[in-house]
Structure 1
Amino acid sequence: MKKKRKQRKKASTATILGFSFPLKKPKKNQSNSRKRKKKHPSKQSKKRLLEEKKKKRQRKKRLQLLKDLLLAIAGASLLIPLCASFFIHFSTITGYGMSPNLRNDDVVIVKKTKQLKRFDLVLFKKGNTTQVRRVIGLPGETIEYKEDHLYVDGLKVDEKFIVDEINESQQNGMNFTESFSIVDMISQQMIPKDKYLLLGDNRSYATDSRHYGLVDIQMIVGVVKMKILPLEEMQVYG
């Protein structure tokens, strides 16, 4: 036993020039374990890092979206009133001359334009007020109403927007639109340049071109494109 112990002691020492020095054991396990820890982080730490990166990306996206939204709102707040003043106009209907399609206190959006076509609803100035009426006759046309039928340049044209009213009136033995022609109105065969024949949809009640004459293009504000109030009757016009 004593010999074995001596051998162990000898193995743990080194002799140089007759002097004995203890040998240090290499700490292989510790250095290797540290290296392993650096090279191979735990699954939990990996997951935590990934979650943190994901949260950072999400925060950046939210901030960018918020910036874009604020810029859009700021731009819209400046552009909308400017565009509205040039391109659109809001108007409230007064009276019952356009019933049943438009009624008193309905609110409409009007596109400012001078390009008109037949059956457009147009807003125009009449003195200090405005009215909405429907375009029936265009410049250069001959217009005649005969036995509740519209004739443009001698050809019959249907007024689909008041079909029910025409049928009901005829069942009661009356015409919905009284007979007349451009010749009767202005003693000319055709509507003059830049003039328009405008009629109300409620023919027996409305005051329109039959009463105050043809309407000049300069008096027309634009074309009604949409009824927005009341909400339950919201409607878009072609």
Structure 2
Amino acid sequence: MIVKPKISNSKFLKFIRKNRLIIILSFILVSLLIVLLLFIYVFRLVSVQGISMLPTLKDGQKIFINKVKKPQRNDVVVFNYNKTVLIKRLVGIPGDKLEVNENSVLINGKLVASFSDLGFWKFNGIIPENKFFALGDNINFSNDSRTFGLFDLNAIQGIWA
């Protein structure tokens, strides 16, 4: 014969039954607090403006960015430049050999992009620590590092998650 312990009279179950609403509301409140903290410190919602990242990102599209991830080559980053928020793809990272001239971009000797008019900025050297070079995916309609050069790690708001 199996004897089941009588737990319906336990103090714990009485507490649960009596305070069910408080427990549920506490769980919801803690969950909302966790989500809020994630959005304050880790993630952010950003709206894409313009066509410089077509076909990857479309004008008006909403994206989440990760504010704590370390930037790596080919990441799509959101950064500040000249009081403007830009979204571009990182192609050059610290330590890379970068060559930018009037019709091509080479990273470590490999052709990354070529066009008829690259802009105003020319460079031939190693990308310094905490500096980055970025291009728009829609290369013919992008204001990117070909125009303004390298930008600082501190300018990066986040990486497309």
Residue segments in structure 1 that go unaligned for 5+ positions in a row: 1-52, 54-59, 158-175, 226-238
Q: Report matched runs for 1:146-225 at 5 Å.
A: 151-155=106-110, 177-178=114-115, 185-186=122-123, 188-225=124-161
The amino acid of 1:191's aligned partner reads I
Q: Does 1:72 align with 2:27?
A: yes
Count of aligned pairs between the two proteins: 145
**Does the Cα contact within 8 Å between 2:73 and 2:91 map onto a contact in 1?**
yes
Higher strand proportion, which one?
2
| Structure 2 counterpart of 1:82, one-letter code | L
- Offset, 1:185: 1.9
Structure 2 CA distance for partners of 1:80 and 1:114, relative to 1, 3 Å: closer
Q: Write the letter of the residue equivalent to 2:141.
A: Y
User: In structure 2, what is the equivalent of residue 130 of structure 1?
Assistant: 85
Q: Secondary structure at the match of 1:132?
A: strand
Distance in 1 (CA, whole Å) between partners of 2:117 and 2:72 is 21
Residue pair 1:114, 1:220 contacting (<8 A) in 2 also: no
- Alpha-carbon contact 1:114-1:217 (below 8 Å) kept: no
Cα distance in 1 for residues equivalent to 2:116 and 2:75: 22
Contact 1:145–1:178 (8 Å) recurs in 2 = no
Give the letter for the 1:177 counterpart: S
**1:148-181, Cα deviation, whole Å (9 max, x unpaired):** 9874322467xxxxxxxxxxxxxxxxxx732799
* Closer, same or farther: CA 63–118 of 1 in aligned 2, 3 Å: farther
The residue matched to 2:147 in structure 1 has which SS?
Answer: helix
Give the Cα–Cα distance (whole angstroms) in 2 for the partners of residues 109 and 86 of structure 1.
Answer: 13
Shift of 1:75: 0.9
- Where in structure 1 do 4 or more consecutive aligned residues deviate above 6 Å? 60-65
Q: Aligned equivalents of 1:105 and 1:136: distance in 2?
A: 24
SS at match of 2:50: coil
3-state SS of paired residue (2:51): coil
CA RMSD of aligned residues (A): 3.2
TM-score, normalised relative to structure 1: 0.52
Distance in 2 between residues matched to 1:62 and 1:153, nearest whole Å: 67
Asked whether the equivalents of residues 125 and 220 of structure 1 are also in contact (C-alpha less than 8 Å), the reply is: yes
* Unpaired segments ≥5 residues, structure 2: 1-7, 9-14
Distance in 2 (CA, whole Å) between partners of 1:179 and 1:63 is 75
Identity of aligned residues (%): 28
Distance (whole Å) between structure 1 residues aligned to residue 24 and residue 67 of structure 2 = 30
Q: Give the direction of change, closer, same or farther, for the CA distance of 1:151–1:81 in structure 2 (3 Å limit).
A: same
**Post-superposition shift, 1:78?**
2.4
Instruction: Give the greater-gyration-radius structure (CA).
Output: 1
Distance in 1 between residues matched to 2:17 and 2:61, nearest whole Å: 41
